[in-house]
Amino acid sequence: MEARGESFLRQRQVLLFFVYVGGFLAGFESRPYSVAEEKERGFLIANLAKDLGLTVEELVARGAQIVSKGNKQHFQLSHHTGDLLLKEKMDREELCGPTESCILHFQVLLQNPFQLITQEIQIIDVNDHAPVFFENEMELKIPENSPPGTVIPLEYAEDLDVGKNSLRNYTIAPNSYFHVLMRSRKDGRKYPELVLDRALDREELPEFSLTLMALDGGSPPRSGTAQIHILVLDINDNAPEFAQSLYEVQILENIPINSVIVTVSASDLDTGSFGAISYSFFHASEEILKTFQLNPITGDMQLVKYLNFEAINNYEVDIEAKDGGGLSGKSTVIIQVVDVNDNPPELTLSSVNSPIPENSVETVVAIFSVSDLDSGDNGRVMCSIQNNLPFVLKPSLENFYTLVSEGTLDRESRAEYNITITVTDMGTPRLKTEHSIIILISDVNDNTPAFSQTSYTLLVHENNQPALHIGSVSATDRDSGTNAQITYSLLPTQDPHLPLASLVSINADNGQLFALRALDFEALQAFEFHVGATDQGSPALSSQALVRVVVLDDNDNSPFVLYPLQNASAPCTELVPRAAEQGYLVTKVVAVDGDSGQNAWLSYQLLKATEPGLFGVWAHNGEVRTARLLSERDAARHRLVVLVKDNGEPPLSASVTLHVLLVDGFSQPYLPLPEVAPERAQEDLLTVYLVIALASVSSLFLFSVLVFVAVRLCRRRRAVPLGVCSMPEGHFPGHLVDVSGTGTLSQSYQYEVCLMGGSGTS
C-alpha cells in the first residue's frame, strides 16, 4: 500500500508539473468556458488560477476579481482555491431567449501590475422545458366523404429550449385512419398536420379521440400532449372556397379607427348549416389580434388600433372560412401600410460656438444633424435660415450641417443674431421644425474714439484762480468693454515758446480741462493745443481734437498817462496867451490802458480847477481847451487836475495835474510870473536850467515808454489780427462828457479809440 501511494504521489507531481508548464506556455490567453444552465450556486466551472498560470497566493496578492457587464454578477472567484464558481443559478432562456448561442463575457482584473483579461462562458442549454400546446383540447369535424390524403392543420406546440432540446417531432397513437406530418414555417416554427389515411364511415365510427404528442430532442426527451376529438360529419362534401386565395391591400398609416380595410368572401355549395359560413383569423399573432378585427358574418376586416409605418409596414393575415359542417377554407390577406407624412423633421444640435469675435471669417458657429422617421419624399429634408444674415448653412456627411459665418460682422451695428434654423421635409403636406439659436458677437477694437467736436473754443477770464475748471472735451467709442474705455491726454505742442504743461492740465478719465495758473490777457490773449483720446484696446486706437483757449480781458490795468509826465521833478507849465479865443487848445492829455475792448475805452474829465468854467476837457480825446474868452481879471496861474477813467467794471482811473500860465504874448523874452518877486530872479534862472535838464530826462523816459508800448503791441499782434480796432458798442455813457458844463461836445458825440499795430491813424 505504501509503495502504491508513493507511486500515485509521483504520478500526481508529474501531472502537476506538466499542467504548470502548459499553463506557463499558454500565458494569459483567453480560453472559453462552458457551464450548463440550472447549476446550483457554488458550482465549480474551472480553476482560474491554474488557467492563468498563477498560484493562489499570486492571485490574492494581485487582487484578482471578476468584473461583469451590468450590475448583476453571475460568477465569483474563490480566493482560497482560485476556482471560478457560479454565484447564482442561471436560466439560459431568461438570459438569451430564443438565441441558440448564449455566451456571457467577463473580465479578470489583476493589479500590480494592472492587467485585464477577457473571458467568455457559454451557457449550455439543458432540456428543462417540455413542449406546450396552446390548446390542450382540439375538436375537429371531418366529413365522412373526405378522401384519403386529406390534410387537417392542427395547433402547434412551443418549446422554450433551443438546439437539440427544441421541438423535434409530433406523433399520435397508432391507428388505421390518421397519421401526423410535421411542417416548418419560414420563421422556424413547426406545426403538425393530420392526414387521413383511409375513407371514413360515420355509421361505422362516428368519432375519434386521439392524443397528439410533441417531442423535443433532449435526452431524455420531454413531451407535451393535446387531445384531439374528431367528429365524423354526415355528408358535407363541399368546403367553403374564397373568392381569392390572396388578398393584397394598401392602406395609409393614418387611416381612422374602425375603418373597413378589406372584405373577404367565401362560398359553399352546400345548403343548410353546411352552407353557413363564419370567418375567423387563423394562427393569428397577438399583434394582429390587437390591430385588426374580423366580422365573422360579413367578412369585413376592420382596424381597431392606429397603424405606424415606422414600426410595422406590412401584415400577413391568414383567414379561415368554416361552414356549418366543419369544413374550412383558407385565404391570406397581405396588408401593405403606406407611409404618410406624419412625423415632422427632428433637429439635434451638437455644438454652438457663441460668442464669436466680430472679425471672424468663415467660423463654424453651430453643428447639428437632421432626421425624419418617415420614408421616401416624406423622409427627405432640407434646411434653411433667414435671408440677409451673414451666415450660411453647409451640408456635411450623414445629414450633418454646419452653420458658418460669411462676410464681415460688425458688433457696433448688430451685437446679437437670433438665427432660426428651419428643417422642412418634402412630403405632402410639408412638415417643418424650427430651432432658434442666439449668436453673440464679441467686440474687437476696430473703432477709434470720436470727439463730439473737431475743435473746442474755451473762454477764460484772466486773473483766474489756479486749478480752475475751464471746460471739458468729450469723446465716445462705439466699441464695448475695455475697448471703449477712453483716456484723455495733452498732446505735445508745435510751438516751442508755449509752456503748455504749466498752463493747463486734463483729467485723464473725464476730459475736464483745468488752468494750472492765473492767466494774463496782456501777456497771452489765446493759445491752442491738441487733446488726444486713446482707448484701452489692443492695439490701442486714438484720435485728437483742437482746443483753443481764449483769455478774456478783465479791467485790471489803470489808465497810464503818457503826457504830461507825472514823475518829473518840476511840473510842466503850459503857456496860454490871454488873447486866445474860446476853444483854444491848451494841451492834450495822452493816456493809454493796458486792457482791451471796453476796458480800454478812456474818458477824460476835469476833476479840479483853480477857476472853474475857464477851461474844459474834451471827454474822448483829452484835449484841454479854453471854455471862454480870457480877461485881465483871470489869474495868471492855474492848476488843473484831469481825471482819466476807463470803461471797465468796476472802472479804474488815474489823474494828472496840469499847470497853465496865462501870458500876454509869446514874443516877450522874459515872462515874469506874477507871484515871483524880483528878488527871486536868480532862483528862477536856476529853475529854468533845472526844467531844461528835467525835460531832457523826461524825453529820454518818454522814448523808453514808447519802446515799451511798441514791444507790448507786437506781442498782442499774435492774438489780435493787425488793423483790427476795438469798436465801442452803442453810445458812450453820459459821465464821459466834460463836467464843466461849458464844453462844446454833446452826449451823442462818439469817437473811435484805435491802437494800431500797423500804419492806421485814429
DSSP string of 59-121? HHHTT-EEEESSS---EEE-TTT-EEEESS---HHHHHTT-S--EEEEEEEETTTTEEEEEEE
Examine the pLDDT at 648 and tell me if it is beyond 90. no
Q: Which residue has the higher pLDDT, 721 or 530?
A: 530
CA 296/CA 324 separation, integer angstroms: 13
Q: Where are the alpha helices (DSSP H) in 436-505?
A: 500-503
End-to-end CA distance of the chain, in Å? 161
735 confidence band (pLDDT: 50, 70, 90)? very low
Q: Which residues contact 264 (CB under 8 A, 6 or more apart)?
A: 242, 243, 244, 247, 279, 299, 301, 319, 321, 331, 333
Q: pTM value? A: 0.44
What helix, strand, coil percent values describe the chain, rounded to 5?
Answer: 15, 40, 45
Examine the pLDDT at 532 and tell me if it is beyond 90. yes
Pick from 35-39, 243-247, 373-377, 398-402 the range whose average pLDDT is largest.
243-247
Average the pLDDT over 275-286 and give the result: 90
506 confidence band (pLDDT: 50, 70, 90)? very high
pLDDT tens by residue, 88-99 = 787 777 777 777
Q: Among 309-313, 561-565, 673-677, which is the least confidently predicted range? A: 673-677
645 confidence band (pLDDT: 50, 70, 90)? very high
Average the pLDDT over 154-175 and give the result: 82
Q: What is the mean pLDDT of the chain?
A: 81
User: 614-650: b or e for each residue (b if 16 or more CB lie within 10 Å)?
Assistant: bbbbbbbbbbbbbbeebeeeeebebebebbbbbbbee
Burial of 495 from C-beta contacts in 10 A (0-12 / 13-18 / 19+) = exposed
DSSP state of 287: H
Examine the pLDDT at 699 and tell me if it is beyond 90. no
- pLDDT score, position 717: 63
Average the pLDDT over 224-247 and give the result: 86
Examine the pLDDT at 153 and tell me if it is beyond 70. yes
Distances (CA, A) of 324 to 32, 206, 294, 483: 61, 17, 18, 96
β-partners of residue 108 are: 66, 117
Examine the pLDDT at 1 and tell me if it is beyond 60. no
Average the pLDDT over 111-134 and give the result: 81
514 confidence band (pLDDT: 50, 70, 90)? very high
757 confidence band (pLDDT: 50, 70, 90)? very low
User: 406-438: b or e for each residue (b if 16 or more CB lie within 10 Å)?
Assistant: eeebbbeeeeebebebbbbbbbeeebebebebe
- pLDDT score, position 684: 58
Q: Which residue has the higher pLDDT, 569 or 489?
A: 489
Let me know: does 98 contact 84? Beta carbons within 8 Å: no
- pLDDT score, position 26: 38
Examine the pLDDT at 749 and tell me if it is beyond 50. no
CA 413/CA 479 separation, integer angstroms: 10
Q: What is the DSSP string of 593-655?
A: -SS-GGGG-EEEEEEEESSTTSEEE-TTT-EEEESS---TTS-SEEEEEEEEEE--SS--EEE
Q: Which residue has the higher pLDDT, 619 or 13?
A: 619
29 confidence band (pLDDT: 50, 70, 90)? low
Average the pLDDT over 299-305 and give the result: 93
458 confidence band (pLDDT: 50, 70, 90)? very high
Closest by Cα among 161, 28, 186 to 102: 161
- pLDDT score, position 744: 35
Q: Among 308-312, 509-513, 668-672, which is the least confidently predicted range? A: 668-672
Examine the pLDDT at 266 and tell me if it is beyond 70. yes
- pLDDT score, position 730: 38
70 confidence band (pLDDT: 50, 70, 90)? low
pLDDT tens by residue, 316-372 = 999 999 988 888 999 999 999 988 888 899 898 888 988 988 888 888 999 999 988
